[in-house]
Amino acid sequence: MESSVRNHYQASNLMEKIDAGLTAAGKHPQQIDIRDLAPVDQLHTGGIRGTQALLEKLEIPAHFHVLDAGCGLGGASRLMADTFGCRVTGIDLSPDYIEAARVLTHRTGLSGRVQFETGSILALPETPGPFDVILCQHILMNISDKQAAVQQFVRHLKPGGRVVLHEIVAGSHPDLALPVPWAASADISFLEPLESMLACFTDNGFTLEQIFDATALGTRYWQKAGEFARKNQQNMDWPPPLGPHLVFGDTADRFPFTMSQNFEAHAIELIEAVLRFSGPPVTR
């Protein structure tokens, strides 16, 4: 199953495409700010503003070590390091993403605080943890065995460590319109209702500290993306120089419409949550 997920996120010649996009956008590829990359390295619902809003709810001291689980191109990793001064390790299944993440992090001057490894959330390497915080942003929808993922988090968190979720969960409508950013076909989409996903954590010794229903924000985000796409698709300058199409190809053109449809039909919801690991549950 992981090979199918890895294939979904395969993106050849990614740095060539990003460099061409940066140049077309009037940016020098070797002299970039992390926010210049947001259209292509913050591909989750809400984009960079969604990540910033999430981070505003957190207090991450500079001495903390954060795991960005399923880091993609490293946008959230770089934003956390830049915002808090903390150390971040990003892990992702896709070698293409990790290669690009390293190059972009070097160019933004953050290599001293951010590192990346190719790997699976279901088999985290023993190094470089343990971690104070694990960011889990739009990754669990690709994992069928969520209990196994949570157990990996337990193994690699420091005592009292936190997991921060920014996740798409299943809504009340059973049918998912495809393609979506995490799946071109149903065989690699593993959405669960919020209650069962949270149970995976509480059953393994986590306590829920914060939760926020961001579904309305997610709905509006994709509605606006759809409105923008409809307005501009006939223009010669479409698509814009930087965007999801550099990663997902022409399929990305459909995301604003399928994601809007899924939110509006209540097939999906968007949640933010913070859970603290308080130790293994007591058995009687």
What is the distance between the alpha carbons of residues 40 and 244, in angstroms, rounded to a whole number?
6
Confidence at residue 139, expressed as pLDDT on a 0 to 100 scale: 97
Ordered structural domains, the chain, with CATH: 2-277 (3.40.50.150)
Query: d(Cα 134, Cα 64) in Å, to the nearest integer?
Result: 11
Question: What is the distance between the alpha carbons of residues 45 and 222, in angstroms, rounded to a whole number?
Answer: 8
Q: How far apart are the first and last CA of the chain?
A: 36
Strand pairing of 87-92 and 65-69? Answer: parallel
Tokens standing for residue 230: 């409809």
Residue with tokens 């999801």: 244
Residues of the chain where predicted confidence (pLDDT) is lower than 50: 282, 284
Question: Which tokens belong to 171?
Answer: 């809504």
Q: What is the DSSP string of 55-76?
A: HHT----TT-EEEEET-TTSHH
Read off the tokens for 8.
Answer: 């979904």
As given in the structure block, the two tokens for residue 213 are 């229903």
At residue 165, the pLDDT reads: 97
From 184, 139, 161, 155, select the one nearest 44 (Cα to Cα): 139
Q: Which helix (H) or strand (E) holds 147?
A: helix 146-156
| Amino acid letter for position 215 | T
| CA 16 to each of CA 13, 21, 37, 100, 158: distance values in angstroms, whole numbers, following the listed order | 5, 9, 14, 10, 39
Helix axes 47-56, 75-84, angle to 10 degrees: 40
- The pLDDT, as a whole number, for residue 284 is 44
Amino acid making up residue 110? L
**What are phi and psi for residue 74, nearest 5 degrees?**
90, 15
* Per-residue pLDDT, 281: 58
Q: Compute the C-alpha angle 148/183/80, nearest 5°.
A: 65
Q: Give the pLDDT confidence score for residue 59 in this predicted structure.
A: 86
Whether the model clears a pTM of 0.75, i.e. scores above it, the answer is yes
Give residue 237's pLDDT: 75
